[in-house]
Amino acid sequence: MTIEAIILFGYNEFAREIAQQLRYTCPRIVVYALNNSDVEQAQAAGLEAHLADLEDNWDDLLSFDFSVTRIICALESEAENVFLTLSLRDRFPEAVIVALATTQENASKLRLAGANKVIAELQTTANLIIERLEKPVITRLLEALMDRQMDLKVAQIVLSEQSSAVGRHINELLESTQRDIIVLAVVDQRMSESFIFTAKGYNHLLNAGDVLVVIGYDKEIKAFEEEVGGVCETDRSHRSG
């Protein structure tokens, strides 16, 4: 599954930064702003932008395929962001909505309103400050992993029905493979969406549809993927490489 479009609501400082970060990885970014000046600014930055109204019935969005589209709610006003999330969720139950919140209290409201993922600005900033001071090496490493600045990558591998790993325990799989990779976690899609970290659930039985989160170099990940018969879902750089 490759994300083909991002619908970004709002065009403030945070939204600009989000658009900036996404424009090289996502083929289509559509900005919906609540006033004309923001629309003009977004257009001046080379983005596809439209004027929106919170009272809209969102017919414009019907053309998007929500299995490959993400909605990001980054409006300036917290109350408007909650309202927007609520009305989008009501209209598009299947859409993946990411929303920005300043405080933890607001984050809970956004979750209640139906956001799949809420990024709490204050808490995230505070956490990052502390991580940089307390665990600088880990912070750099994780940032680099997610940023793909290193050859080292993090990838998701979905185990297919034919996968040789199906029916085996994680420890068996790890003992048998000679690949220079680390399996960080497994997501058992049938049981729940939560993670089973290999450092904790060492004896988890693998099933078809489970997602392995692996860290390793490109080549090794590809070789491992072939070995287990999985599909590397999202790492496009790896696919193209």
Partner 1 sequence: MNLFSRALVDSAYALESSEGLRRTRHHVDNLMNNAGYRYKRYFDLFMMVLILSSVFILIRDVKFQQNDFLAVFNNYIISFIFLIEYLMRFWVSSDSARIMIDQYEKDVLLQRNFRVGRAVMKVLYAKWRYMSSLAAIIDLLAIMPFFHELRLLRLFIIFRVFKLFRYAQNMHHFGAILASKKFELLTLFTFVGLIIFVASVMIYVMEALNPDSKVNTLFDALYWSVVTISTVGYGDVVPVSGEGKIVALIVIVSGVAVLAFATSIVVSAFTEKLDDIRDGKLIQELQKLKHIYLICGYGTVAQQTASKLRRMGREVVILDADASKIAEARRHHDLALAFDPASLESIGQLGIDPVRQIRAVILLGDTDVENVYTALTLRSMNKELRILSLLHDKKHRRKLESAGVNDIVYAQELIGQLSREYSDQPIAFEALHALRAEHSGVVIDEILVDERMARFIQSVQDLKIRGGRIILLGVESRREQRFVFNPASDFVLAEGDLLVVIGENAMLHEYRIDLHKAVRS
Query: Rounded to the nearest whole angstrom, what is the least distance from the CB of residue 161 to partner 1 in the complex?
Result: 19
Q: Select 35 or 124, whichever has its Cβ closest to partner 1.
A: 124
Helix axes 104-113, 78-91, angle to 10 degrees: 20
Name the one residue in this structure whose structure tokens are 């990558």: 153
Q: Is-contact 125 191, C-beta < 8 A?
A: no
Residue 180: count of CB within 10 angstroms of its CB: 12
Residues 6+ apart with CB under 8 A from 114: 85, 86, 88, 89, 90, 97
Q: Select 57 or 128, whichever has its Cβ closest to partner 1.
A: 128
Query: Rounded to the nearest whole angstrom, what is the least distance from the CB of residue 209 to partner 1 in the complex?
Result: 12
Provide the edge-to-edge strand list for the sheet that holds 48-51. Answer: 48-51, 28-33, 5-9, 69-73, 96-101, 117-120
State which amino acid sits at residue 165: A
Query: Rounded to the nearest whole angstrom, what is the least distance from the CB of residue 51 to partner 1 in the complex?
Result: 22
156 — phi, psi (to 5°)? -110, 130
Q: Select 100 or 166, whichever has its Cβ closest to partner 1.
A: 100
Q: Taking the CA of residue 203 as centre, how many other CA atoms within 13 Å lie in the half-sphere pointing to its CB?
A: 0
Query: Rounded to the nearest whole angstrom, what is the least distance from the CB of residue 117 to partner 1 in the complex?
Result: 5
Query: Rounded to the nearest whole angstrom, what is the least distance from the CB of residue 52 to partner 1 in the complex?
Result: 19
Q: Select 106 or 166, whichever has its Cβ closest to partner 1.
A: 106
Q: Select 83 or 217, whichever has its Cβ closest to partner 1.
A: 217
